[in-house]
């Protein structure tokens, strides 16, 4: 089993371009697995992890409700935002500057064959990262992602998650609000959940800006420990 993960930070990159790149990496792993099965070979499958920050964009999961987008096409354009219906799970979410987006494209058979465990590990990597900043956070029953004040009237989501998996290969991932402009969330019903707020790390810490490179390093540390993996740059 290959537990090395190739890490790439794409910086600020268009959502559609990044989605196409994910699909390319994803297909490469799936095709290799099909070849291994067909030809009875044992060629090693690669794993990837992409960090990226997107320009303002709203994405709707395959089972999402379009009515959770509260903007018309003209209003989207006026806000400098784009919209895509995509092939991950989950409902609608926002990506934009000040948000750390992570796309693990893994062959889970290199680690464990359990999608539920995979999602819990993604959440745990973020929870452990936020705890390093003194943030009390956790899970909310029946709602994927990472929350503050779950189960209280003050519940607020700080990290959204949505994944796709086929033949135990993953794509899409998580979006952690670090220095995000929360006003953009007012234009949607985030994740299709009414009556719950969204927050960002800088807001919770009461600071103007959090060091995003530091947050990324902490995420990678916890991710590698949970998955017993080693990151290499490519």
In sequence order, what are the residues at sequence separation of 6 or more whose Cβ sits closer than 8 angstroms to the Cβ of residue 114? 108
Binding-site sequence positions? 88-95, 160-162, 173-175
* Tokens of residue 129, six digits: 């990262």
Residue for token digits 């607020």?
156
Instruction: Judge contact between 54 and 134, C-beta under 8 A.
Output: no
d(CA 153, CA 145): 17
Q: Check if 137 is active-site.
A: no
In sequence order, what are the residues at sequence separation of 6 or more whose Cβ sits closer than 8 angstroms to the Cβ of residue 104? 5, 47, 48, 49, 50, 122, 170, 173, 223
Coil, strand or helix at 101? strand
Helix then strand then coil, in percent of the chain rounded to 5, is: 35, 30, 35
Residue 185 DSSP one-character state:
G
Binding-site sequence positions for substrate? 88-95, 160-162, 173-175
Point out the catalytic residue in the list 130, 191, 198, 215. Answer: 191
Instruction: Judge contact between 51 and 174, C-beta under 8 A.
Output: no
The candidate with the shortest Cα–Cα distance to 181, out of 64, 80, 63, 96, is 96
169-177 vs 99-105, strand pairing mode: antiparallel
Kindly list the catalytic residues: 191
């Amino acid at each position: 089993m290959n537990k090395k993960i190739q890490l790439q930070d794409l910086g600020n990159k268009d959502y559609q371009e990044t989605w196409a790149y994910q699909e390319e990496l994803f297909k490469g792993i799936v095709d290799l697995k099909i070849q291994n099965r067909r030809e009875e070979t044992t060629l090693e499958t690669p794993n990837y992890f992409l960090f990226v920050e997107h320009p303002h964009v709203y994405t709707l999961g395959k089972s999402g409700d379009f009515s959770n987008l509260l903007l018309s096409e003209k209003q989207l354009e006026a806000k400098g935002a784009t919209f895509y219906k995509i092939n991950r799970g989950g409902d609608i979410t926002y990506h934009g500057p000040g948000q750390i987006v992570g796309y693990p494209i893994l062959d889970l058979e290199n680690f464990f064959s359990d999608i539920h465990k995979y999602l819990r590990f993604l959440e745990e990597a973020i929870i452990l990262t936020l705890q390093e900043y003194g943030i009390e956070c956790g899970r909310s029953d029946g709602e994927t992602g990472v929350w503050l004040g779950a189960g209280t009237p003050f519940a607020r989501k700080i990290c959204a998650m949505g994944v796709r998996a086929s033949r135990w290969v993953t794509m899409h991932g998580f979006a952690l609000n670090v220095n995000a402009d929360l006003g953009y969330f007012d234009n949607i019903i985030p994740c299709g959940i009414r009556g719950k707020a969204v927050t960002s790390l800088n807001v919770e810490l009461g600071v103007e800006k959090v060091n995003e490179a530091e947050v990324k390093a902490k995420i990678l540390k916890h991710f590698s420990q949970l998955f017993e993996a080693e990151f290499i740059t490519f």
